[in-house]
């Protein structure tokens, strides 16, 4: 594996950093207070080409390979402090756009991809329910075929982008069918009869990424809205999860790089007991640990992306990248606060925000515990 960057990749990464610094930072503290996604920033990302990065050129996207996409998302994490915005971008790209690319009909692709890539539409998928999180087969949302339509009934909870979404990929079960063929996926517009966002949710972190609960009350969708064949829901979900786990924390690499640089700078300039605090072993050791976590996480994320480019499923590698990077981000955020002392604990520093945002990464896209189950199972246990 050779992770040396091409000249084009270096230029694109530098351009993404400059773009993030220049256009994605407005009113972050104020928007975080009220839990608001910046729609101007969303549209700016679309204009830059973020949403279209992994989508083939023939479908209107940028046609970037997965490793290049990872590099750009890493650059966003480095140049932009709005982890919530980046999380919402990831949610749309990996859980809706790529399933449309892989499983969508030409009509479905034409109906949704142009708007999703231009920033005119916002979307996501909806799998999690009040009684079904890690146990994806335990979902209770039901679907019934009625002539040329399907009727959905159920509740989806903790759905990223739900309060602002124009289209949601909803997973629902056919009662009485065998477990592996019981779930199908449906593209549901926010205007569909019986579809509603019943409430918005107030979170500890990632506050600029809106989250909500979706109610499906005799929600009617045409048969043409089914993504893939009947019973293919878990194949669609698992396909998107491999890429999501491989790539969703690429931005955390950039954030951890930014944290490390801030701690080195602070360690050089902040003085106590007549010398720079970086000269004290306790501070220096934390900075060294932050570096080790960053570089190990980077290699795991790059490896999963590289394997994907080679056509490998990379299930174990994706789980390892998700597990290690999420826990490394939490640990390094704690170290960054400790290095900065009381100032790091203050909201005005912006340092504590990264910790609140990082905690969620050990939960979404499969908890750390689930990643360990996946890895142990693939090791033969």
All CATH 1.20.140.10 domain ranges of the chain, comma separated, are: 249-378
Burial group, residue 202, by CB count within 10 angstroms (0-12, 13-18, 19+): exposed
User: In the numeric block, which tokens belong to residue 257?
Assistant: 């790089």
In the block, residue with structure tokens 């790539």: 247
CA distance 242 to 257: 24
pLDDT of residue 178: 84
Task: Collect all residues with Cβ–Cβ distance below 8 Å to 202 and sequence separation of at least 6.
Answer: 35
Give the predicted TM-score (pTM) of the model.
Answer: 0.95
Question: What pLDDT does residue 180 have?
Answer: 75
CATH topology of domain 124-231: Butyryl-CoA Dehydrogenase, subunit A; domain 2 (2.40.110)
7-122 folds as Butyryl-Coa Dehydrogenase, subunit A; domain 1 (1.10.540)
The 3 state secondary structure assigned to the chain is: CCCCCCHHHHHHHHHHHHHHHHHCCCCHHHHHHHCCCCHHHHHHHHHHCCCCCCCCHHHCCCCCCHHHHHHHHHHHHHHCCCHHHHHHHHHHHHHHHHHHHHHCCHHHHHHHHHHHHHCCCCEEEECCECCECCCHHHCCCEEEEECCEEEEEEEEEEEECHHHCCEEEEEEECCCCCHHHCEEEEEEECCCCCEEEEEECCCCCCCCCCEEEEEEEEEEEEHHHEECCCCCHHHHHHHHHHHHHHHCCHHHHHHHHHHHHHHHHHHHHCEECCEEHHHCHHHHHHHHHHHHHHHHHHHHHHHHHHHHHCCCCCHHHHHHHHHHHHHHHHHHHHHHHHHHCHHHHCHHHCHHHHHHHHHHHCCCCCCHHHHHHHHHHHCCC
- Residue segments in the chain with a per-residue pLDDT below the cut of 70: none
Nearest to 215 by CA among 159, 148, 131, 133: 159
Q: Do the Cβ atoms of 168 and 125 come closer than 8 Å? A: yes
Tokens of 10: 């270096």
Characterize the bridge pairing of strands 271-272 and 275-276: antiparallel
Active site (catalytic) residues: 244
Per-residue confidence (pLDDT) for residue 244, from 0 to 100: 82
> pLDDT tens digit string along 243-268?
788 789 999 999 999 999 999 999 99
User: Domain 249-378: which topology?
Assistant: Butyryl-CoA Dehydrogenase, subunit A; domain 3 (1.20.140)
pLDDT in the model for residue 238: 87
pLDDT single digits (tens) 296-350 = 999 999 999 999 888 888 899 999 999 999 999 999 999 999 999 999 999 999 9
* Gap between the Cα atoms of 327 and 249, Å rounded: 11
Domain with CATH 2.40.110.10 in the chain: 124-231
């Amino acid at each position: 594996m050779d992770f040396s960057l091409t000249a084009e990749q270096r230029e694109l990464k530098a351009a993404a950093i400059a773009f993030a610094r220049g256009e994605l930072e407005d009113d972050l503290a104020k928007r975080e207070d009220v839990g608001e996604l910046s729609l101007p920033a969303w549209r700016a990302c679309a204009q830059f080409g973020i949403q279209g990065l992994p989508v083939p050129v023939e479908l209107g996207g940028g046609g970037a390979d997965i490793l290049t996409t990872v590099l750009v998302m890493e650059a966003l994490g480095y140049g932009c402090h709005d982890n919530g915005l980046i999380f919402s971008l990831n949610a749309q790209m990996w859980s809706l756009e790529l399933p449309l690319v892989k499983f969508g009909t030409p009509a479905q692709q034409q109906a949704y991809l142009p708007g999703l890539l231009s920033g005119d539409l916002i979307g996501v998928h909806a799998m999690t329910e009040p009684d079904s999180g890690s146990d994806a087969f335990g979902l209770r949302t039901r679907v019934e075929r009625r002539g040329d339509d399907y009727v959905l009934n159920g509740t989806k909870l903790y759905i990223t982008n739900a309060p602002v979404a124009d289209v949601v990929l909803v997973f629902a079960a056919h009662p009485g069918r065998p477990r592996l063929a019981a779930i199908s996926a449906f593209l549901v517009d926010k205007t569909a009869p019986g579809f509603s966002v019943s409430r918005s949710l107030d979170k500890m972190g990632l506050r600029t990424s809106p989250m909500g609960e979706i109610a499906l009350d005799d929600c009617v969708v045409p048969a043409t809205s089914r993504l893939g064949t009947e019973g293919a829901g878990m194949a669609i979900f698992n396909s998107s999860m491999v890429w999501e786990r491989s790539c969703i924390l690429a931005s955390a690499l950039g954030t951890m790089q930014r944290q490390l640089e801030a701690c080195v700078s602070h360690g050089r300039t902040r003085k106590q007991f007549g010398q720079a605090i970086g000269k004290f072993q306790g501070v220096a050791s934390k900075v060294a640990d932050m570096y080790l976590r960053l570089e190990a996480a980077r290699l795991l994320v790059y490896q999963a992306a590289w394997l994907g480019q080679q056509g490998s499923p990379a299930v174990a590698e994706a789980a390892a990248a998700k597990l290690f990077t999420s826990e490394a981000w939490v640990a390094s955020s704690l170290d960054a606060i400790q290095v900065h002392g009381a100032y790091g604990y203050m909201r005005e520093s912006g340092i504590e925000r990264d910790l609140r945002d990082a905690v969620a990464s050990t939960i979404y896209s499969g908890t750390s515990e689930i990643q360990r189950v996946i890895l142990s199972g693939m090791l033969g246990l």
